[in-house]
A and B are shown apart, each in its own frame.
Chain A
Amino acid sequence: MSMQGHVTPQKMHFSEALPLRSGATLRDYTLVYETYGRLNAERSNAVLVCHALNASHHVAGTHADNPKSVGWWDNLIGPGKPLDTDRFFVICINNPGSCFGSTGPMHVNPDTGRLYGSDFPVVTVEDWVNAQARVLDRLGIRQLAAVMGGSLGGMQALSWTLQHPERMRHALVIASAPSLSAQNIAFNEVARRAIVTDPDFHGGHFYAHGTVPKRGLRVARMIGHITYLSDDSMEAKFGRELRSAELAYSTQEIEFQIESYLRYQGDKFSEYFDANTYLLITRALDYFDPARAFGGDLSRALARAQAKFLVVSFTTDWRFSPARSREIVKGLLDNRLDVSYAEIDAPHGHDAFLLDDARYHGIVRACYDNIAREIGA
Chain B
Amino acid sequence: MSNRQALELIADLVPQGSRVLDLGCGDGALLALLRDRRGCRGYGVELDDAKVLAGVQRGVNVLQRNLEEGLSLFEDNSFDVVLQLDTLQNLRNTEDMLRETARVGRIGIVSFPNFAHWPNRLRVLQGRMPVTKVLPYQWYDTPNIRVGTFADFEILARKNGLHILDAFGLHEGEVVKHWPNLLASTAVFRFEHR
Contacts and interface: CB of A to CB of B under 8 A. Distances in A.
Interface of A: 310, 326, 329-330, 333-334, 336, 338-345, 359, 362-363, 366-367, 369-370, 373
A289 B112 CA distance: 44
Contacts of B49: 344-345, 359
A340 B61 contact: yes
28 contacts: A326-B73, A330-B73, A333-B43, A333-B74, A333-B75, A334-B75, A338-B61, A339-B61, A339-B63, A340-B52, A340-B55, A340-B62, A341-B62, A341-B64, A342-B52, A342-B56, A342-B64, A343-B65, A345-B49, A359-B53, A363-B52, A363-B53, A363-B56, A366-B56, A366-B57, A367-B56, A369-B57, A370-B59
Q: Chain B CB within 10 Å — which of A310, A334, A341, A343 has the most?
A: A341
A326 B56 CA distance: 18
Given A366-B56, A367-B56, A369-B57, A343 B73 contact: no
Tell me the dominant secondary structure on chain A's binding face. helix
In the A-B complex, the 9 residue pairs with the smallest Cβ-Cβ separation, listed nearest first, are A366-B56, A341-B63, A366-B57, A343-B64, A359-B49, A340-B62, A342-B64, A370-B59, A362-B53
Tell me the dominant secondary structure on chain B's binding face. mixed
A353 to B, nearest CB: 16
A338 to B, nearest CB: 6
Given A329-B63, A345-B49, 15 more contacts: A326-B73, A329-B73, A333-B73, A333-B78, A334-B75, A338-B61, A340-B52, A341-B65, A342-B56, A343-B64, A344-B49, A359-B53, A366-B53, A367-B56, A370-B57
A75 B8 CA distance: 41
Q: Chain A CB within 10 Å — which of B41, B62, B63, B75 has the most?
A: B63
A336 B53 CA distance: 21
Interface of B: 19, 41, 43, 49, 52-53, 55-57, 59, 61-65, 73-75, 78
Contacts of A333: 43, 73-75, 78
Contacts of A334: 75
A339 B60 CA distance: 9
Nearest to A345: B49
A334 B19 CA distance: 13
Contacts of B55: 340
Nearest to B66: A343
A34 to B, nearest CB: 28
Nearest to B60: A340
A367 B56 CA distance: 7
Contacts of B52: 340, 342, 363
Contacts of B78: 333
Contacts of B62: 340-341
Contacts of A343: 64-65
Contacts of A370: 56-57, 59
A334 B75 CA distance: 7
Given A333-B43, A333-B73, A333-B74, A340 B53 contact: no
B51 to A, nearest CB: 11
A373 to B, nearest CB: 8
A270 to B, nearest CB: 39
Contacts of A336: 19, 41
